[in-house]
Amino acid sequence: MHKVAGSLFKAHTFKNTLVIHEQQFRISRASSQLSSEKANSYNYIIVGAGSAGCVLANRLTEDPQSTVLLLEAGPRDTLLGSKRLMWKIHMPAALTYNLCDEKYNWYYHTTAQRHMDSRVMYWPRGRVWGGSSSLNAMVYIRGHAEDYNRWGRHGALGWDYEHCLPYFKKAQTHELGPDQYRGGNGPLHVSRGKTNHPLHRAFLEAAQQAGYPFTDDMNGYQQEGFGWMDMTIHRGQRWSTASAYLRPAISRPNFSVAEKTLVTKILFQGTKCIGVEYVKNGQRKKVFANKEVILSGGAINSPQLLMLSGIGNADDLKKLGIPVVCHLPGVGQNLQDHLEVYVQQKCTKPITLYSAQKPLNMVRIGLEWLWKFTGEGATAHLESGGFIRSEPGVIDHGRVASTMEAYQVHVGPMRSTSVGWLKLKSSDPNDQPIIEPNYLSTERDIWEFRQCVKLTREIFAQKAFEKFRGPEIQPGNHVQSDKEIDAFIRQKADSAYHPSCTCKMGQPSDSTAVVDPQTKVIGVENLRVVDASIMPSIITGNLNAPTIMIAEKAADIIKGLPSLQEKNVPFNFSCLEDTELLKSLNSFPEYYINGYDRSSGTDCSYDITLVKIKDFRYKKEEFLFVSPGSVMDGEREDEVLSYDYDMQLSWTPDPGKKGPSDTASYTILHILVYPARALVTIKTNMHREQHMAELIRLTASRRHNLVNFTNLITRKRRKKANTSWL
């Protein structure tokens, strides 16, 4: 018994010893793992060293207590520390070389576009230090002030113009010096063109001859008009965010940066973000963030990574076998881009860049730039442009070399109503997502593009171009009718490479929003998105400057600093099409105009806003009528309707208000209705004043029964629908 008992005791003791050793091993292993994770942990992990990521890395490491890891899928933008050895990136005139180089470029393509003759569009995006700021055309355009006010009204609280302007200025050092709109002490150097080329001068002169104003700063008080463009070029070199923000911070002891590192997944504990998984040199690794992970991969990569990590539309993720962390259906939706077309004219004088393509001249230009960063290689030659509800600029994307002396204008709508989406093709991070921009899917976009071609032809027909003007190359003199112009646009329009809005900023109550106004991803913890994807809507211009501004502002939010603000900075309101802004204006004359509410069958009183656009090109004026509830009842909000009329409209000013004393009479020719507004083409008997536009506030009245808009719409509509619109 005792022996047996002793044996049992020994066995029991041995078993307990094994359990204790196993527990100690587990504790030791867990402790070792925790130590390893702590050693492999940072306060902030930033995914993407592009236009936003470089800004964030610089600003967050200004605090020596904050440790930051920046992960970039592409290589450095220098070779052996030299910009000269990477001249394809840093020489401004060499910008086209990397547009088709997969070494520095994600090389995306869209789906076949059904409204553009089933063409597949090419979308280059930067995959290198500096991101697309290392590949772009270096145009510095902020957009219109009202773009940001619209953001604020649509849920991005704190992102209106008075809260964004200070961050544009904080980022910038403009060579012309600081003023109410320009910055003078920021890391991003901005300059004006130095060539003073005769074709640029002719372009600006011709625009004024066509009746458009000259603006001395399209990033200042008045965007509308034509003028000299700002560029992110400094001392003859491309001034990307890698040059402006990344290199000055690279030596900080609290900053680490990894290149050629593809982030494949965001790591979560429940809904709390704890780090990322990445692949480098074929090895899969993890790194942890004890504060936040910030996605700055851009409008394609950021939503792609969110979806790969389980954040997106739950139904779509389940189909691909991706575990759902958070159902957020707005991820990848709301995709917006600028589309543009080139109108080309043969030049009768040998003054274009055609001769620069000859081998000996290319060598000469290259050697001068390599020696002292000057000459024709020191500019992108995109030095003049304008905004008149379009965006001209004299240069090409350059993927096809020119074959003759010629000049051209890029032109396209800045506020397109066509909206697309992107989705995962598979759960493999190496598979490019499905990109569907849905170009030219609305009647309004087609109409505006048609007008773009016509206005460009009108500018080229001015006296200023007489000594340079040869035959039209594109679209060609054989393209004249609206139908022919539309066909040309479908065949030749191309992306301006401005994808945005796929992780829309808004209120958590907005089912389409992905991040809140603090840039935090809705529904999870410790995860932000900071790049062009969070724009609620695309801005009126190029995206690099606004993306840098977004990152500057987000950096202050992340650091817990109060937002900068500049109140009451004036800007020009001409030709605005924003309903809510116009309704808030009280400084313009008020008029009485009749209304008839079909839903109630009675005369009514509504506030109606009218934008009167003096259009000297086509000897007509365009009016924008807006009223509360002006979207057609029963219609989709993105639907565009069109009507043709030959009816008279007139109104009489209120005797108690200041304004013209004559009754104005107009003939309505065409009404184009789109969400919450209607564009009306009319003829007028009034004398045309010599300015581009004026705003008039109208107030509907029961006093007169001059025109019954509802009856017009009912009689001329292409399809039935009830309406309460005036």
Q: What is the mean pLDDT of residues 324-330?
A: 98
Exposure class string for 442-477: b at 16+ Cβ within 10 A, else e: bbbbbbbbbbbbebbbbbbbbebbeebbeebbebee
Q: Looking at the domain assignment, is residue 635 inside a domain?
A: no
What pLDDT score does 222 carry? 85
Beta bridge partners of 45: 69, 293
Beta 590-594 vs 693-701: how paired, if at all? parallel
CA distances from 705 to 306, 708, 714 (A): 56, 7, 17
Q: Is 27 helix (H, G, I), strand (E, B) or coil?
A: helix
pLDDT at 551 over 70: yes
Note the Cα 397 to chain centre separation in Å.
18
Q: Looking at the domain assignment, is residue 658 inside a domain?
A: no
Span 336-361, pLDDT tens digits = 999 999 999 999 998 887 778 888 88
Centre a 10 Å sphere on the Cβ of residue 489 and count the other Cβ atoms it contains: 25
Range of the domain at 375: 84-249+310-568+667-675
Exposure class string for 390-414: b at 16+ Cβ within 10 A, else e: bbbbbbbbbeeebeebbbbbbbbbb
pLDDT at 242 over 80: yes
Tokens of 500: 């945005």
Rounded Cα–Cα distance for residues 651 and 659 (Å): 12
Span 486-531, pLDDT tens digits = 999 999 999 999 999 999 999 999 999 999 999 999 999 999 999 9
- Residues 532, 550: contact at Cβ < 8 Å? yes
Span 408-425, pLDDT tens digits = 888 988 888 999 999 999
Rounded Cα–Cα distance for residues 24 and 476 (Å): 82
Rounded Cα–Cα distance for residues 153 and 517 (Å): 12
pLDDT band at 591 (very low <50, low <70, confident <90, very high): very low
- Residues 37, 276: contact at Cβ < 8 Å? no
Start-to-end CA distance of the chain, whole Å, equals: 105
Centre a 10 Å sphere on the Cβ of residue 100 and count the other Cβ atoms it contains: 12
What pLDDT score does 401 carry? 52
pLDDT at 632 over 60: no
Tokens of 377: 């290689």
For residues 213 and 532, the model is more confident at 532
Cis amide linkage into residue 475, ω under 30° from 0: yes
Q: Looking at the domain assignment, is residue 697 inside a domain?
A: no
- Residues 524, 311: contact at Cβ < 8 Å? yes
pLDDT at 664 over 50: no
What pLDDT score does 390 carry? 39
CA distances from 132 to 45, 48, 74, 270, 334 (A): 20, 11, 11, 34, 21
pLDDT band at 381 (very low <50, low <70, confident <90, very high): confident
Q: What is the pTM of this model?
A: 0.77
Q: Considering the chain, what percentage of its residues have pLDDT values greater than 70? A: 71
DSSP string, 533-558: GG-SS--SS-SHHHHHHHHHHHHHHH
Q: What is the mean pLDDT of residues 268-294?
A: 97
Beta 172-174 vs 188-192: how paired, if at all? parallel
Q: What is the mean pLDDT of residues 311-339?
A: 98
Q: What is the CA radius of gyration of the chain?
A: 29
Smallest Cα–Cα separation from 249: which of 65, 51, 54? 54
Span 92-150, pLDDT tens digits = 999 888 887 788 999 999 999 999 999 999 999 999 999 999 999 999 999 999 899 99
- For the chain, count helices (H), then strands (E): 16, 34
Annotated catalytic, 338?
no
pLDDT band at 38 (very low <50, low <70, confident <90, very high): low
Q: Looking at the domain assignment, is residue 110 inside a domain?
A: yes
Q: Considering the chain, what percentage of its residues have pLDDT values greater than 90? A: 60
Centre a 10 Å sphere on the Cβ of residue 678 and count the other Cβ atoms it contains: 21
What pLDDT score does 615 carry? 32
pLDDT band at 13 (very low <50, low <70, confident <90, very high): very low
pLDDT at 225 over 90: no
- Which of 174, 498, 691, 704 is the catalytic position? 498
For residues 693 and 430, the model is more confident at 430
Q: What is the number of structural domains in the chain? A: 1
Rounded Cα–Cα distance for residues 174 and 191 (Å): 6
pLDDT band at 402 (very low <50, low <70, confident <90, very high): low
Across all residues in the chain, what is the average pLDDT? Answer: 78
Q: Is 479 helix (H, G, I), strand (E, B) or coil?
A: coil
Helix (H) or strand (E) segment spanning residue 169: helix 161-171
What pLDDT score does 211 carry? 83
Smallest Cα–Cα separation from 693: which of 574, 610, 549, 539? 574
- Kindly report the CATH number assigned to the domain that includes residue 506: 3.50.50.60
pLDDT at 649 over 90: no
Smallest Cα–Cα separation from 91: which of 234, 199, 259, 193? 234
Q: Looking at the domain assignment, is residue 262 inside a domain?
A: no
Q: Looking at the domain assignment, is residue 231 inside a domain?
A: yes
Q: Looking at the domain assignment, is residue 357 inside a domain?
A: yes
Q: Which residue has the tokens 């600081």?
A: 178
Tokens of 424: 């995962």
Smallest Cα–Cα separation from 593: which of 626, 629, 630? 626
Rounded Cα–Cα distance for residues 610 and 617 (Å): 20
pLDDT at 58 over 90: yes
